[in-house]
Every structure is written in C-alpha cells, then in structure tokens.
Amino acid sequence: MSHRPTESEYNYDSFVPAKFGPLMRFAESPPVGQPGPDFAVWRSNTRKETQLSDLWKAHSLLIVEFGSFT
C-alpha cells in the first residue's frame, strides 16, 4: 500500500464517493489465487495481538472480517 490512511481520512463524516473513493485501491490488491499480505490482527476472544500468518498456520479454515462503523 503506497499510503496508509490517517484516522481522519478513514473516519469520514459522510458516506459519499469523494470521501471513501480514495481509500478504494483495488488495483493494489494481490491477484486472485495469491496470498494476501501478513499484518497484525487482534483475536476477538482474547484481544491479544498476533500475526495473520500465525492464524493461517494454526487453522485450516479462517474467517477474517473487516468493517467500518462510518
């Protein structure tokens, strides 16, 4: 990712294309069939930080949910 959004860029005050559009960088996504990037995640049951790759290694099926409360 070339630019990591600041908190104010991510927490926009209205859901309009001018505000969320710059964050939609699908061209920077890995191609289908290629692994995604590894990054820090927090387990919902323990709130402890771990790496996504550690969860991939420990589980044959893994659901990762991303969301925004805009």
If you average pLDDT over every residue of the chain, what do you get?
81
8 A C-beta contact, residue 51 and residue 43: no
Q: What is the dihedral of CA 8, 11, 14, 16, to 10 degrees?
A: 90
Give the tens place of pLDDT for each residue, 34-59: 887 898 988 778 889 999 999 889 98
Q: Does 14 score more than 60 pLDDT?
A: yes
